[in-house]
């Protein structure tokens, strides 16, 4: 008997990672001001918030910009688990008690106290992730990237994401200030500048 639902080996085997188009890479990597959501270094890669291996969607709704180091260290963990794990690794005395908040070794705390002390930081991290996810999900912004970079297709050996990003960065910066106009907004503005449209 099989069919025990999610986690079934067969189900996992048939899931395939998909390739992302250049416009999708640009839409994710340039969100959050082009910075890694976990450490603020320049983003270099897309992190699955919920790991693909755990059933996380291979979609923009589950991707955030991250640096290589954070992406590798976080691996298949969820952000809170990773965060708490890092905190533990920093605080652990090695004698059965975590050290207190100062990190100077002047106090010990129970696991319960330690968990409560980082609860707020985890909530802040989750808020930050929500903010970046909302930026990436913004339909107008998303369409702006799709309309302009769809023709670039998929990254290739001769035209990869770093090169596309370098070329697009200034334009994206300017469009961000203008609030990502749609193609028709842009057309109307151009026509307006030429005096063909408008009152």
- Of 39, 50, 116, 191, the residue at the interface with Zn ion (CB under 5 A) is 39
Given the complex with Zn ion, which of 27 and 36 has the nearer CB atom? Answer: 36
Taking CB under 5 A as the rule, does residue 46 contact Zn ion? Answer: no
> Which positions from 71 through 130 interact with Zn ion, judged by CB under 5 A?
none
From the CB of 79, what's the least distance to Zn ion, in Å?
12
Query: Of 6-14, 41-49, 86-94, 102-110, which part binds Zn ion (CB under 5 A)?
Result: 41-49
CB 108 within 8 A of CB 97: yes
One of 31, 70, 136, 164 touching Zn ion (CB under 5 A): 70
Query: CB within 8 A of 179, min separation 6: which ones?
Result: 140
Smallest gap from Cβ 158 to Zn ion, in A, equals: 28
CB of 81 to Zn ion, least distance (A): 16
- Could you say whether residue 38 binds Zn ion (CB under 5 A)? yes
Does position 67 bind Zn ion by CB under 5 A?
A: yes
Number of residues in contact with Zn ion, rule: CB under 5 A?
Answer: 6
Q: Cα separation of 78 and 58, whole Å?
A: 15
Decide if residue 63 touches Zn ion (CB under 5 A).
Answer: no
Q: Which residues pair with 182 in a beta bridge?
A: none
Among 36, 60, 118, 168, binds Zn ion (CB under 5 A): 36
Part of the chain binding Zn ion (CB under 5 A), chosen from 65-73, 84-92, 171-179, 189-197: 65-73
DSSP letters, 73-128, are HHTTS-HHHHHHHHHHHHHB-SSSSBB-TTSSSS-B--HHHHHHHHHHHHHHHHHH
Angle at the Cα of 162 from the Cα atoms of 159 and 166, rounded to 5 degrees: 100
CA distance 99 to 81: 19
**Contact present, 114 and 107 (Cβ < 8 Å):** no
Q: Which of residues 134-193 bind Zn ion (CB under 5 A)?
A: none
β pairing state of 45-48 and 63-66: antiparallel
Residues within the interface to Zn ion (CB under 5 A): 36, 38-39, 41, 67, 70
């Amino acid at each position: 008997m099989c069919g025990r639902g999610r986690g079934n080996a067969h189900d996992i085997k048939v899931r395939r990672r998909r390739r992302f188009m250049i416009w999708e890479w640009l839409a994710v990597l340039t969100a959050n001001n082009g910075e890694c959501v976990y450490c603020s270094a320049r983003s270099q890669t897309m992190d699955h918030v919920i790991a693909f291996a755990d059933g996380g969607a291979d979609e923009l709704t589950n991707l955030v910009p991250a640096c290589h180091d954070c992406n590798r260290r976080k691996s298949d963990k969820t952000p809170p688990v990773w965060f708490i794990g890092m905190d533990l690794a920093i605080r652990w005395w090695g004698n059965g008690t975590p050290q207190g908040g100062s990190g100077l070794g002047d106090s010990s705390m129970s696991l319960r106290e330690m968990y409560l002390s980082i609860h707020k930081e985890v909530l802040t991290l989750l808020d930050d992730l929500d903010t970046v996810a909302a930026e990436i999900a913004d339909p107008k912004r998303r369409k702006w990237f799709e309309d302009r970079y769809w023709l670039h297709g998929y990254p290739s050996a001769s035209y990869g994401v770093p090169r596309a990003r370098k070329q697009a960065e200034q334009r994206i910066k300017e469009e961000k200030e203008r609030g990502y106009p749609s193609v028709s907004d842009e057309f109307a503005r151009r026509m307006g500048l030429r005096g063909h449209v408008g009152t």
